[in-house]
Structure 1
Amino acid sequence: MDTNNLLNHLVTAVLVIDKELRPCFVNAAAEQLLGLGSHKLTEQSLAEHYQLLGVEPKLLMDAVQTGQGLTVNTTTLITLDGQHHTVDLTLIPLEQEQTLSLLELRQVDQQRRIHQQLSQDAQQQAAQFLVRNLAHEIKNPLGGLRGAAQLLARELTDPGLKEFTSLIIEQADRLRSLVDRLLGPQRPTQHSLHNIHQVVQKVLKLVEMALPTNIRLRRDYDPSIPDIEMDADQLQQAVLNIVQNAIQALDPTGGEIVIKTRTQHQVTIGSQRHKLVLELSIIDNGPGIPPELIDTLFYPMVTSKEQGSGLGLSIAHNIARLHNGRIDCVSTPGHTEFIISLPIHSAR
């Protein structure tokens, strides 16, 4: 059995490091976690390949040089490309190779995301069930009200009185439009192959026409991402909703919005594990989302904006769900990131 091939199938990042903390071997999961290839990783000390690790290099070096094991749970790792991870770190000396140690970095933010998504999906579906029933109860009398106003308008000859029936019809239409937006798409539509960057470019072209001068848009695309099956119109709407939220968060102080695409391997969405997943990130350097809203961010009618409807993120979440994907949010002051994850299926 090929040991290297076996290690490359693990989802845990595994590195073999020497007494100077220079990696001698890294598996595929370690390359993905640190965002660097094996050749690059083995050229320099481990500390050169990340911005921050919640364990001092001296502590690691002392453990390696004295042949001691080390375990640190739920520590922070920030990679060179700015990705934040929570990992469990385990260092084990290799008995047959006294100068080498085995370092494991197991991501636990993935498990936290899975648990959060399952809980969020269950609560979201319950909220949508309530909203659908409420919308049904609203739309029926609303249609009757609008019809009655139209009939009354035909009977009236006084233009001043017709103004009131026109107002009734106008407000009934506005409420119906609000209810339709509240419901959003409910069933999967016909999907076809599209390039995610073409979808994003259409959104950005629309946004740039009215973009404030103090807000910058930056693209950070991975051009190797293959076409994926999607409803392009729905995904445009989801991306547009999130980008517009970012613009509103930066207005009037200004700032930068980064649209980034990457692929990730062996990602679990819901209860299903996917070999390859597209991650589309919309990142802004605004003030961040209030902590009390994070857990209910994707619920209908939840918003921190005075004039907001609270529907944009709820609709985006539902669109991602209809694509067998998910949306995650990480937010601290100065860094808010929405990540749309969509499975990439191999060409048949």
Structure 2
Amino acid sequence: MSLLLTEIKNRVGIITLNSEKTLNALSLPMIEELHTILSTWKINDEVACIFLQGSGEKAFCAGGDVRQLYDSIIAQRAIDHTKVPQDCFDFFSKEYQVDYMIHTYPKPIVVWGHGIVMGGGIGLMAGASHRIVTERSKLAMPEITIGLYPDVGGTWFLNKMPSAYGLYLGLTGARLDGADCKFLGLADFYLSSSLKEQILSSLQEIIWNGDGHQAVSEVLEKFSKETEIPESQTELHQAFIHRFEGVDSLEEFAEILTDYPKKDDWILTGLKSFEAGSPSSAHIIFRQLKQGKKLSLEDVFRSELNLSCQCCIHTDFIEGVRALLVDKDLTPKWQPATLTEVTEDWVDGYFNWIIGEWDVVEVEIEN
């Protein structure tokens, strides 16, 4: 079975992530194939626009296949625990190259962000020129729950959200629906899922002789008038999120979150994820987002590649994956175990640049 399905219809190149059983989770072979297709279609005059979707109705893409990364880390630790597994480096570096390519792609890319869109799925969606969500879209960056951090450009797009929403979402992994994504700028269009085939047909009717991006926008704007956007929970919590603006430390963030007197279900869910997540992840996420505010897009992906490699050497990432996907006991034993036990030196270790043979972390991001 092909990992990706492709077809070209009247200059619209359709790419389907084809792993419905895994909720279209990204494996290294899938990432490599997607890179090849995007590179080829970028210079193919028969393709004027790309439509990227997931197979089935449950998910666009539920993230990266972290179980495969776990197996690679375990195998490497039996040999030398100080080395980043080659498979992990290949996965992250090639995934980020695809994400960067989407951000800088010269042709319009429409992403049908229907169903579950998490982690690496948001990485594919965030940089697209035309990002669509529906009434069944469910997005999140829940990496704190597996000892990781919001990568795939999270340093970039979380910092571009209004107020302190990016910091809050990164530290709590809060779930978003389509209306939330539209409010936060993660999506450009909120459309009924029933319109999908009509949208594809309309894109295929475009006469591609001018500004392709504008032509696609006009099609999608026409359909957006037919769909009413429901109330956004994130928008309703603006006053709460404003409290986190200008926080100078993770301790201050935690204090505001835990002491807030009017906790409803939305806030309680975020608090629960924050408290159950990796303390190390909480600290590195806070530093990641604070230090990364002024980074260029290229430097964002370079810094995240280094940080992801460091997560493969540190302990919490594989422990989080073990608890969630391997043993499935849902009781990760984080090291250090609490926020107060995490030292500055420990956090520094995540941000130290990996040297020696891993100088290739400074991988050339492809234009």
**TM-score using structure 2 length:** 0.22
Q: If you compute each CA radius of gyration, which structure gives the higher value, 1 or 2?
A: 1
Name the structure where helix makes up a greater proportion of residues: 2
Q: Which has the higher strand share?
A: 1
Determine which structure has greater relative contact order: mean sequence separation of CA pairs < 8 Å that are 6+ residues apart, divided by chain length: 2
TM-score by length of 1: 0.23
